[in-house]
Structure 1
Amino acid sequence: MHDIIISEFMDQAAVDLLARDFKTHYDPDLVDKPEELAKLAASARSLIVRNRTQVRGALLEGAGSLECVGRLGVGLDNIDVDACKARGVAVFPATGANDLSVAEYVIATAMMLLRRAYLSTDRVIAGEWPRNALIGGELSGRVMGLVGFGAIAREVARRAGALGMPVIAFDPFLPADHAAWKGVGNRSLDALLTEADVVSLHTPLTTETRHMIDGKVLELMKDSAVLINAARGGVVDEDALCAALKAGKLAGAALDVFEKEPLDAESGRRFAGIGNLVLTPHIAGVTEESNVRVSRVTAEAVLKHLRGNS
């Protein structure tokens, strides 16, 4: 029997911190061993997961001794929060610990897509030397549009502003008189989409936000604009996005999250042959530095709870 089960990768120093006081089982591949995970979870006091482990249904029901769930990240769509609350199981996301890494991802991919040249390695190797075709644009003076204006989006706003980008945002849940709006244009979603040169998504996945970026919405964007989704898969209608990119209705896109994760070959086939596209495997919030921060924050929250100090 173990007190703490960790089913996905975590910084070793944080694992060691947990193991000092509690019997801890760490297997970063446990998420892919559902029967073993269920058996271990049955007597565990805490589960620590990333985004792939589904803490819901049979797994959650079978974890009869569970007291808390540590989330190595911030999104909670893989955790049945309502069911946890009903059972008195605390849920601890690592709020704020990976904001910086996501913000840097957004800026980096925006620069890649607007400049275009960074996607030309194979052509240069082949001797094409396509200089005229790869004359892209600068970030400075382009409008950064943020859909959702929470902590991560505000980090993006600060960096975009430092690079000379005017920043606008849409967030119906943030009061108009909130201090965060200082220096940032408050827009409706439609206005933001028509005005922005870079649209970066920062919304959770809910019934309301699923496929909020669909074909009709993409039609509102400038043909020269780029779209970045490092928030949650499912917010973007992937088929509609592919169609827009292929038709030249959008200058480029970067997706770090997908409707189906991990993305398999069949699901990924829709993206084949699209050159103005950056795809990454849900890694925007994970850097060497952020992994240390996220792991430490999560470990400390779990330890505090198990020691009865929460």
Structure 2
Amino acid sequence: MSKPKVLISDKMDPNAARIFEERGCDVDVKPGMTPDELKAVIGQYDGLAIRSATKVTKDILEAADNLKVVGRAGIGVDNVDIPAASAKGVVVMNTPFGNSITTAEHAIAMMFALAREIPAANTRTQAGEWPKNDFMGVEVTGKTLGLIGAGNIGSIVASRALGLRMKVVAYDPFLTEERAIEMGVEKADLDTLLAKADFITLHTPLTDETRNILSAENLAKTKKGVRIVNCARGGLIDEAALAEALDSGQVAGAALDVFQTEPAKDSPLFGKPNFICTPHLGASTTEAQVNVALQVAEQMADYLVNGGVTNALNMPSLSAEEAPKLKPYMKLAENLGSLVGQLAHGNLTKISIEREGAAAELSGKPIEGAVLAGLMRCYSDTVNMVNAPYLAKERGLDVRSIRHEKEGAYNTLIRVTVGTEQGDRSVAGTLFGADAPRLVEMFGVGIEAELSGDMLYIVNEDAPGFIGRIGTLLGENGINIGTFHLGRRQAGGEAVLLLSVDAPIPPEVVKAACALEGVKVVMPLAF
């Protein structure tokens, strides 16, 4: 089996390449490629490791026939077309914790620089002046810090601010009361924060909800003389409105490490005496650059070699330790999805994925992804766990995941039910031993079978002689039967037959089987 092949297309700590190699990957380091050069070679690689310079566009992804994962050494993935990657079945990972401390420290440094007007004082002192009386700063001790975004970086900033004897008020829709108490901050809505804060720092991603969160309207709601720091994302602040607020004195000072357009060659903020800025240095420390490079290499190698998924933005996380345990369940789930997809007639409208017993204790998202991958394979031959949910949503499929704590007839069970124009259709399976997936129920009929290779599904009237007739038909056409599985609702009623065969069954044999006495449905299957 050939090793996964990874391309590092941006400048990165050399230890990243070493980690890839140690963990079983071949790696090429080619920083500085043009988009056309990258497009020409990307089809050779299973993984692409980047920083901010490489743009992973839809055009690049369309040429990436073998690509399985893109890893961003850093937090922001603005340079990756995530919807296009999802549609292509490519996992997109980032390293959200590798530069958290560095970014948080930069925000604190910017706050101090604002409070004591250090940049301007430095410039004039080095120019030969001694402007001791021109710079009257403010203390941070006892002041209120308004934290917009209380995630990983925001929580570190809060910790540092509390150590400086500041009060911290936090606005974050995902911040619970329990977490706020644990952090030692006051949870508040945005208007309350704006009214209370002496300093405001932003630590939120740029989304439709957060774009211009400090708009002209919201800047007007701030306490007069507030100082604002943004080391998160450009676009969170309306820069023109901030310039006006600086001129009017509503905002006493602002410090930005990020801008709406980067590189920032021109800005209405430039030249303001109460404005300081840095060129997106939040993650620029030696420690942070080493950390994110090593982290992205470890994450990508775990995925390519072991199936572990960490810090993915378009599929559920699955640690390298969990992957082996979940592997047989995911195989079972994928087979059940494939089975119900091949057998269900009409347009599918909904799907429910139920887990009972031991299966209920496992992470549901990977199992859901595997079911959808099997189901969506009826519609696309390039489907996988990454793009299957995307394809299901595109088709308007209502997906529900249900967990039952009770244990039924089986120690562990996964049931997949789809809604069709003809009604609901359900299949269920379990594991024999620890790793042998088995079908145990199909459309309400108990039947035990291994789903693999080429198979033939038949519904017939339960009557003597039928097994002989189907066996004779297949034998006369040179088709060898591997396994033979029977189930029925009741004696003399409807019976189900599931055969595994050594080769695909030709259409003319399927047609002949349909003509046998008592046959209602004949359908070839493939797994």
Q: TM-score, normalised by structure 2?
A: 0.55
State which of 4, 7, 21 in structure 2 corresponds to 1:5.
7
1:180-215, Cα deviation, whole Å (9 max, x unpaired): 554201111111112111111111111111112111
In the alignment, residue 26 of structure 1 is paired with which amino acid?
V
Q: Helix, strand or coil for the counterpart of 1:172?
A: coil
State which of 294, 297, 308 in structure 1 corresponds to 2:295.
297
Partner of 1:22: 25
Instruction: State the alpha-carbon separation in 1 of the partners of residues 274 and 9 from structure 2.
Output: 35
Aligned length: 304
Instruction: State the alpha-carbon separation in 2 of the partners of residues 102 and 178 from structure 1.
Output: 21
Instruction: State the alpha-carbon separation in 1 of the partners of residues 252 and 215 from structure 2.
Output: 16
Partner of 2:311: none
Instruction: State the alpha-carbon separation in 2 of the partners of residues 291 and 136 from structure 1.
Output: 33
Please tell me whether the aligned partners of residues 117 and 136 of structure 1 are also in contact (alpha carbons under 8 angstroms). no
Alignment of 1:133-148 (within 5 A): 133-148=134-149
1:44-96, Cα deviation, whole Å (9 max, x unpaired): 21111223433232122221211001111122333233332333312221121
Partner of 1:197: 198
Change (3 A) 1:168 1:269: closer
Q: Helix, strand or coil for the counterpart of 1:134?
A: coil
Structure 2, unmatched stretches of 5+, are 309-527
Instruction: State the alpha-carbon separation in 1 of the partners of residues 181 and 65 from structure 2.
Output: 42
Please tell me whether the aligned partners of residues 58 and 84 of structure 2 are also in contact (alpha carbons under 8 angstroms). no
Partner of 1:66: 67
Out of 69-78 and 102-111, give the one that drifted further. Answer: 69-78
Instruction: State the alpha-carbon separation in 2 of the partners of residues 178 and 308 from structure 1.
Output: 34
1:84-121, Cα deviation, whole Å (9 max, x unpaired): 23333122211211110011011111000011134322
Instruction: State the alpha-carbon separation in 2 of the partners of residues 214 and 88 from structure 1.
Output: 37
**Structure (1/2) with the larger helix percentage:** 1
In the alignment, residue 12 of structure 1 is paired with which amino acid?
P
Partner of 1:117: 118
Please tell me whether the aligned partners of residues 112 and 119 of structure 1 are also in contact (alpha carbons under 8 angstroms). no
Instruction: State the alpha-carbon separation in 2 of the partners of residues 180 and 62 from structure 1.
Output: 49
| Structure 1 residue 15: Cα displacement | 2.3
Please tell me whether the aligned partners of residues 77 and 205 of structure 1 are also in contact (alpha carbons under 8 angstroms). no
Partner of 1:102: 103
| Structure 1 residue 275: Cα displacement | 2.4
Greater RCO structure (CA 8 Å; 6+ sep): 1
Partner of 1:184: 185
| Structure 1 residue 262: Cα displacement | 2.3
Please tell me whether the aligned partners of residues 73 and 94 of structure 1 are also in contact (alpha carbons under 8 angstroms). yes
Change (3 A) 1:86 1:180: farther
Instruction: State the alpha-carbon separation in 2 of the partners of residues 213 and 227 from structure 1.
Output: 10
Partner of 1:287: 285
| Structure 1 residue 135: Cα displacement | 1.7
Instruction: State the alpha-carbon separation in 2 of the partners of residues 117 and 39 from structure 1.
Output: 49
1:232-279, Cα deviation, whole Å (9 max, x unpaired): 11111122222222332212112112222222x3xx243331122222
In the alignment, residue 11 of structure 2 is paired with which amino acid?
F
Runs of 4+ aligned residues of structure 1 deviating over 6 Å after TM superposition are none
Over the aligned positions, Cα root-mean-square deviation in angstroms equals: 2.0
Q: Helix, strand or coil for the counterpart of 1:177?
A: helix
Alignment of 1:154-173 (within 5 A): 154-173=155-174
Instruction: State the alpha-carbon separation in 1 of the partners of residues 275 and 221 from structure 2.
Output: 19
Instruction: State the alpha-carbon separation in 1 of the partners of residues 235 and 267 from structure 2.
Output: 17
Q: Helix, strand or coil for the counterpart of 1:70?
A: strand
Partner of 2:492: none
Out of 8-17 and 166-175, give the one that drifted further. Answer: 8-17
Q: TM-score, normalised by structure 1?
A: 0.91
Structure 1, unmatched stretches of 5+, are none
Partner of 1:262: 263
Instruction: State the alpha-carbon separation in 2 of the partners of residues 143 and 43 from structure 1.
Output: 54
Instruction: State the alpha-carbon separation in 1 of the partners of residues 107 and 239 from structure 2.
Output: 19
Instruction: State the alpha-carbon separation in 2 of the partners of residues 63 and 113 from structure 1.
Output: 46
Partner of 2:393: none
Instruction: State the alpha-carbon separation in 2 of the partners of residues 174 and 25 from structure 1.
Output: 42
Instruction: State the alpha-carbon separation in 1 of the partners of residues 305 and 28 from structure 2.
Output: 18
Partner of 1:42: 43
